[in-house]
Structure formats: C-alpha cells, structure tokens
C-alpha cells in the first residue's frame, strides 16, 4: 500500500513540475512578446518625432 501511495505522490509531483515548466515557458514567451510590443511602440513614437 505504501509503495502505491508513494507512486501517487510521485505522479502528482511529476504533474506539478510539468505544469510549472509549461507556465515558465509561457511566461518567458509573454515577456518576449511584451518586449517586442514595447520595442515597436518606441520605434513608432521615435519615427513620429522626427
């Protein structure tokens, strides 16, 4: 019984770690998109000034 419980906990941790990895990738992707948007916004505002 104890081994089965341990396996369940291992599976749970595995799932959590997988989700965390996915979230981390999503966060990094969002940061990249935000940086791109900021860069575009700065470029357009600078071109309007000149």
Helix residue ranges per DSSP H, 1-50:
2-49
Q: Span 30-47, mean pLDDT? A: 92
Q: Span 35-45, mean pLDDT? A: 92
Domain coordinates in residue numbering, the chain: 19-50
Q: How confident is the model at residue 25 (pLDDT cuts 50, 70, 90)?
A: very high
Alpha-carbon gap, residue 45 to 21, rounded angstroms: 36
- How far is Cα of residue 38 from the mean position of the Cα atoms in its chain? 19
Which comes out higher in pLDDT, residue 46 or 15? Answer: 15
> If you compute the radius of gyration of the chain from its CA atoms, what whole number of angstroms results?
22
| Closest to 9 in 3D by CA, of 17, 19, 23 | 17
- Flag whether the pTM goes above 0.75: no
């Amino acid at each position: 019984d104890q081994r089965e419980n341990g396996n369940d906990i291992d599976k749970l941790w595995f799932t959590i770690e997988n989700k965390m990895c996915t979230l981390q990738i999503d966060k990094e992707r969002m940061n990249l998109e935000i940086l791109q948007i900021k860069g575009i916004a700065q470029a357009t505002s600078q071109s309007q000034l000149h």
